[in-house]
Copies of this chain bind each other. A is one copy, B any other.
Amino acid sequence: MQIGMIGLGRMGANMTRRLMRGGHDCVVHDTQAAAIASLEGEGAEGAKTLPQLVKALAKPRTIWLMVPAAAVDDTLAELTPLLDKHDIVIDGGNSYYRDDIRRASTVHARGLHYVDVGTSGGVAGLERGYCLMIGGETATVKHLDPLFVALAPGAGTAVPTPGRRADAGSADQGYLHCGPHGAGHFVKMVHNGIEYGIMAAYAEGLNILRNANVGKRTDAVNAETTPLRDPAMYQFDMNLPEITEAWRRGSVIGSWLLDLTATALAADPALRSFEGRVSDSGEGRWTIQAAIDEAVPSPVLSAALYARFSSRDQADFANRVLSSMRHEFGGHDELKPDSPKAKP
């Protein structure tokens, strides 16, 4: 099939490459000329402007947006007036599913079709394939099937699930039509919410292992802190790169995220190249908001999100409130970072 790709960042460029490997013709556009040129050198047709991109595509056109969530509305506003009835616009980025529902309605009013695709895979997706969570009308989604087949990993990349019917659908290829408009990004949203939780589970566990030698650190006695009761029980210097490596095989907690953690630790065992200011990009927040609307308890996913907020010093005022209370009721002064027991 022929497809127009708008947005050639880390995700869009590699997805274009994978589509071309799958035999599809790609017309590509980006705000950066160099990004276009790079893919032209690999066989794509470049388009310097949106009108050029539209002109280069045969009707009915299929155009895939792979731009930051905050840029989708502007891009659609510029793009849709250039399109013709029955053209299809796909938002493959990290949009909020509520925007899909709104956008689908606007786009439909112009006689166009809209499809939302949650795309997981990261920079490894070019080789591993992309897991695609799709929302939209059935006929449109079916029409796009060859694109999804090219992007998705394919059934051979995992062992079959015991008991699953062989004809149960496309999910065993790594892509799924999840439901009407917004369903794709809803599933992707929750996927990322889960991702935050899993990442935090490993991160907390590794932090506990790293501090398993806390009994070796001598600390003075003061009235502000309690001494460690059993220093003899915390004398372990754990080798985190090798522990994560061992867990990759046979253990219950094997996962792709663990593979990546082992890779990171192999390169930098103390992770000194990072400061620990962790970004969050929307889906984790929206997941919690959905959980609350649904009255679904989500303590783990929330804790994972809050850890990221705290890593960016967003708890500072709350902490100062705590110190001020302690000062009021107990006359306690804050321990300074270099005091003997400030970091037990």
Contact = CB atoms under 8 A, between A and B. Distances in A.
B290 A208 contact: yes
A246 B164 CA distance: 12
Given A207-B315, A246-B175, A197 B300 contact: yes
B249 A322 contact: no
A264 B317 contact: no
A198 interface: yes
For chain A, which range describes its interface: under 10, 10 to 19, 20 to 34, or 35 or more residues? 35 or more
Contacts of A195: 252-253
A322 B296 contact: no
Nearest to A297: B306
The 4 lowest CB-CB distance pairs between A and B, nearest first, are A197-B201, A276-B319, A226-B282, A255-B255
A122 B257 contact: no
A318 B227 contact: no
A224 interface: yes
Contact of A163 (B131, B263, B320): B263
Interface string A273-291: 0111111111001011111
Interface in A171-228: 171-176, 178-180, 182-183, 186-187, 190-212, 214, 221-228
A210 B297 CA distance: 13
11 contacts: A131-B247, A133-B246, A171-B246, A186-B236, A196-B201, A206-B318, A261-B328, A278-B319, A285-B293, A299-B303, A300-B307
A64 interface: no
Interface string A286-316: 0111111111111111111111111111111
| Chain A residues touching B, majority SS | helix
A158 B207 contact: no
Given A226-B282, A243-B171, A263 B306 contact: no
A222 B68 contact: yes
A232 B204 CA distance: 32
Nearest to A285: B292
A47 interface: no
A82 interface: no
B10 A330 contact: yes
Nearest to A313: B343
A78 interface: no
A55 to B, nearest CB: 28
Nearest to A282: B226
Given A68-B221, A154-B249, A266-B161, A296 B207 contact: yes
A84 B210 CA distance: 37
Contacts of A288: 288, 292, 302
Given A120-B252, A225-B280, 9 more contacts: A120-B247, A161-B245, A194-B202, A198-B198, A199-B321, A252-B329, A275-B336, A295-B309, A295-B314
